[in-house]
A and B are shown apart, each in its own frame.
Chain A
Amino acid sequence: MTVQHDSSVYEEMQASEQFQELRRRYRSWAFPMTVAFLAWYLLYVVLSGFARGFMGTKLLGEINVALVFGVLQFVSTFLIAWAYSRHAAGKLDPLADELRAQVEEKTP
């Protein structure tokens, strides 16, 4: 069951410098990265619709730009996922664990 906490504990925590730091670390990584991968994906979709000559350029044998661009979307997805898990484990989890312990101490 969820323990009912006194809401002032949360407001206090939210205002604390440490929490603001956690929030900054999370948002300053996740938000720009979301914009970046959405833009990268949309570039791919728009080129698939409007730049078919370019996408059809053959690079190596029958392998063309469209295929390489598509596979690069897979590569970037895997890399971003991996980078996020590194960031979260290194910069977010330790601070989050510490703050959780602090709040749980103050509540019954």
Chain B
Amino acid sequence: MKHETLATILFLVFVAGTLAITFWASRNTKTATDYYAGGRSFSGVQNGLAIGGDYMSAASFLGIAGIIALSGYDGFLYSIGFLVAWLVALLLVAELMRNSGKFTMADVLAFRMSPRPVRTAAGVSTIVVSIFYLLAQMVGAGALVGLLLGITSDSGKVWTIIAVGLLMVVYVVIGGMKGTTWVQIVKAVMLMTGAALVTLLVLGKFGFNLSSLLGDAATQSGKGDAFLNAGLKYGTEAQGIWGKIDLISLGLALVLGTAGLPHILIRFYTVPTAKDARKSVMWGIGIIGVFYLLTLVLGFGAAAVVGSEKIAAANAAGNTAAPQLAEAIGADIFGEVGGTILLAVIAAVAFATILAVVAGLTLASSSSFAHDLYAHVFKRGEVTDKEEVRVARIAAFVIGAIAIALAIPAQSLNVAFLVALAFAVAASGNLPAILYSLFWKRFNTAGAVSAIYGGLISALVLVIFSPAVSGAKTAMFPDVDFHLIELSNPGIFSIPIGFLCGYLGTIFSKEYNASKYAEIEVRSLTGVGMEKASEH
């Protein structure tokens, strides 16, 4: 049997299994709490796994392994930012949000402010961030299928994007948060198992001697010792000082963005108490940390076993490094059939990864549309539970359709920078608004609205005039040049701008509500009056 056939079968088994879970979950999805927050009935461990499944995208699995396989150490820089970021979520955000919010990020902001402008801003930001992230994942899916399943025709790629889009809409519309969470849990277990298996085989081949693995990787990469140090991809010496500032800018967005990503924030509402939210982040940190250590071995292993040249020949960005490694190491140890099986397993895991992440993004954006924009801005809160859920389901459909419609023409463009941009917007707009509203007594409506729009707009404008969009070979539009700045990552400017806008907006407005601040402070720290788990 060819690996494409086997991978397709394994993937279909995953789809069938997760669809069955989704339909089962839909029987218990009646109220808004069920749809938006899975009835708040997940345990800390379950939600920790789901956090891993929501966060470890194909970009981190295939992308980081690929960057390490081709450019060595630089891929590890990405992993570290992605992991350390979880401490911001653990120490400052997760528990306090669980205690004071209900369904969306905006719930916490709207608590002591004028709800309509704040919810509008938070809703816009949520939908923008989620759609950027969604687009990057879906374009990635189209490219991947060609590489892993041997579908190379343009129509094949278009159908893949449509299929991924339809599946994510089905998971979200039918299963709501409960179905989506289970898809993420199943995927997290599959991804960890697959990555751990290949890692063990690679380490075994090198007698569990990391030094000899690194030595072979450096030799096979053709780059020598430089392969084991930073600087081959980000902030290269040739790019000079701007390249290095760009590296720091990327690092800042990664570490501060996670705790402002809407699809991550809504995960904290799926557990019964703040203690469970803490426990789920602890589990998430453990799973994500171990996963990135595995990716390090996969990346260097791919360079050592397959060789950077062969990886770059298959895909210029190195996205197939992990599957190629699985095939080579499987064949090396178990013979050709072993290689085929292992390749198929890793290819199927990669698809499961994409599906779980896009479902989480669709849920976050449709929830925010229904709960923030429709229920509270358009209808001023005069809406029934049932109607809100109906609108959320329609919104998931519409967002899925928009994502498919944008992803198909974007296929030929380099949209990899959209993930970094989503992190930058989350760090520049959402995080300042969240932190100020939890910790700053004086914060008010004007401050929240200024922080979100200030961070969002400055990050977008900086990226539009950056080499990521025009004026470089790797740009989104390589044939035109209207770039004005040398930074591809806006964080180093846009994050301080977001915080500054929030500060200035606040002090130039007289609004201040002491009793509301007392309420949110007491509630966030003690859990008084928090939203309970729903009973079934």
The answer to whether B526 touches A99, judged by C-beta atoms less than 8 angstroms apart, is yes
Known pairs A44-B80, A50-B244, A62-B215 / 9 extra A-B pairs, C-beta < 8 Å:
A7-B519, A42-B252, A45-B81, A55-B229, A67-B76, A67-B214, A77-B83, A81-B87, A81-B282
Contact flags B72-102 to A (C-beta < 8 A → 1, else 0) = 0100110011011011101110010000000
Docked Cα-Cα span, A7 to B87, in Å, equals 32
Contact indicator B248/A23 (Cβ below 8 Å): no
In the assembled complex, A5 has its CB within 8 A of some CB on chain B = yes
Instruction: Give Cα A1 to B175, complex, Å.
Output: 23
How many contacts A-B (CB < 8 Å)? 158
- Identify which of B211, B247, B525, B528 contacts A48 (C-beta below 8 A): B247
B413 smallest CB distance to A (angstroms): 28
- Alpha-carbon distance A100/B508, docked complex (angstroms): 35
CB neighbours (8 Å) of A50 from chain B are: 244
B521 within 8 A of A: yes
- Asked whether, in the complex, the Cβ of B518 is within 8 Å of the Cβ of A96, the reply is no
Question: Which residues of the other chain, B, contact A8 by a CB distance below 8 angstroms?
Answer: 515
Chain A interface residue count: which class? 35 or more
How far, in angstroms, from A50 to B308 measured CA to CA in the complex?
26
Residue numbers in A under 8 Å from B119 (CB-CB)? none
Q: Which residues of chain B have C-beta atoms less than 8 A from A46's C-beta?
A: 248
Interface secondary structure of B, over-half rule: helix
The verdict on B203 contacting chain A, using a C-beta distance below 8 Å, is no
In the complex, B286 has a CB within 8 A of chain A: yes
Cross-chain contact A23 with B525 (CB below 8 angstroms):
yes
Contact B526 A103 (CB under 8 A): yes
A100 near B527 with CB under 8 A, answer yes
Instruction: Name the A residues within 8 Å of B17 (CB-CB).
Output: none
The answer for the CA separation of A85 and B283 in the assembled complex, in Å, is: 11
**Bound: A99/B215 CA distance, A:** 58
Whether the pair A41, B255 counts as a contact (CB closer than 8 A) is yes
Residues of chain B at interface, number, CB under 8 A: 57
The interface residues of chain A lying within 8 Å CB-to-CB of B292 are 74
Are A49 and B230 in contact (CB-based, < 8 A)? Answer: yes
A residues lining the B interface (CB < 8 Å)? 2-3, 5, 7-8, 10-11, 13-14, 19, 22-23, 26, 30, 33-34, 37-38, 41-42, 44-46, 48-50, 52, 55-56, 60-64, 66-67, 70-71, 73-74, 77-78, 80-82, 84-85, 88, 93, 96-97, 99-100, 103-104
Which residues of B approach A to under 8 Å, CB–CB?
Answer: 73, 76-77, 80-81, 83-84, 86-88, 90-92, 95, 210-212, 214-215, 218, 225-226, 228-231, 235, 244, 247-248, 251-252, 255, 275, 278-279, 281-282, 285-286, 289, 292-293, 514-516, 518-519, 521-523, 525-529, 531
6 nearest A-B residue pairs (beta carbon): A61-B211, A45-B251, A62-B214, A48-B230, A49-B244, A14-B518
State which of A22, A71, A78 has its C-beta within 8 Å of the C-beta of B526: A22
Docked CA distance A60–B282 (Å): 32
Q: Which residue of B lies closest to A8 (CB)?
A: B515
Contact A77 B86 (CB under 8 A): yes
A100 lies within 8 A of B229 (CB): no
Shortest C-beta distance, A39 to chain B (Å), equals 11
Select one of A14, A62, A63, A77 contacting B522, CB under 8 A. Answer: A14
- Which residues of chain B are within 8 angstroms of A66 by Cβ–Cβ distance? 73, 228-230
Chain B CB within 10 Å, residue with most, of A7, A42, A70: A70
Contacts of A104 in B (CB 8 A): 528
Given A55-B230, A77-B289, is A7 in contact with B83 using a C-beta cutoff of 8 Å?
A: no
Residues in chain B near residue A10, CB distance under 8 A: 515, 518-519, 522-523, 528
Q: Which residue of A lies closest to B102 (CB)?
A: A2
16 A-B pairs whose Cβ atoms sit less than 8 Å apart in the complex: A2-B531, A3-B529, A5-B529, A42-B248, A44-B80, A48-B230, A48-B231, A55-B230, A56-B228, A56-B229, A61-B211, A63-B214, A77-B83, A82-B282, A85-B279, A103-B528
